[in-house]
Amino acid sequence: MTKIHPSLKLTQQEIDSLMGRESRLRIATLGPGDEINLTPMTFGWAAGNVYIFARGQKIANLRRNTTATVLVDIGSAWRELKGIMMHGKVRILETSDDEENDKGLSLARLNLGEKHKLMKNGTIQPYAASASGRSRRWIVFTPHEVVSWNNENLP
């Protein structure tokens, strides 16, 4: 487990706020062989889970090995840096039935709609992507370890 001094950690409310408003993360998966595949992705946040609509190699990697790490970080100067790194497992929503039965997906779609300013008549619209073809799928990442930091709190 990664060690961060308690004074530097974000609160759960701060984590939810950052994850709810930031639109990009990096997700690391294990690719073919022993290569790590690190990819920037857009994401939704709902009920403590990360939702990513992905395709291709990312889905192939996660079908082979459901372990992943995600990272969201903001700031440019050292004292401004804030971040959240999560280690966890993924579930792939393979069918439209899987999508319908996932309790957080509708909230994640709305979160993505808000992040990407998908508007119609002044109302936020959900990100409407759905399972199609062999590899266009929703990934549901559930963290089992969360490491966060806020360099503004450095002495």
For residue 48, give the CATH number of its domain.
2.30.110.10
28 within domain boundaries:
yes
56 within domain boundaries:
yes
138 within domain boundaries:
yes
155 within domain boundaries:
no
CB 110 within 8 A of CB 123: no
Total structural domains within the chain: 1
**Burial classification of residue 42, based on how many CB atoms lie within 10 Å of its CB (0-12 exposed, 13-18 middle, 19 or more buried):** middle
70 within domain boundaries:
yes
Q: What are phi and psi of 33, to 5 degrees?
A: 70, -130
Give the C-alpha separation, 146 to 15, whole Å: 10
40: which 2 tokens?
Answer: 């920037």
Q: What is the pLDDT of residue 1?
A: 61
pLDDT tens digits in sequence order for the chain, 155 residues long: 678 888 889 999 999 999 999 999 999 999 988 899 999 999 999 999 999 999 999 999 999 999 999 999 999 998 999 999 999 999 999 999 999 999 999 999 999 999 999 999 999 999 999 999 999 999 999 999 999 999 998 88
Identify the domain containing residue 79 by its residue range.
Answer: 6-149
Q: What is the pLDDT of residue 90?
A: 98
pTM higher than 0.85: yes
Q: What is the chain's alpha carbon radius of gyration, rounded to the nearest angstrom?
A: 16
CB 106 within 8 A of CB 113: no
CB 112 within 8 A of CB 59: no
154 within domain boundaries:
no
1 within domain boundaries:
no
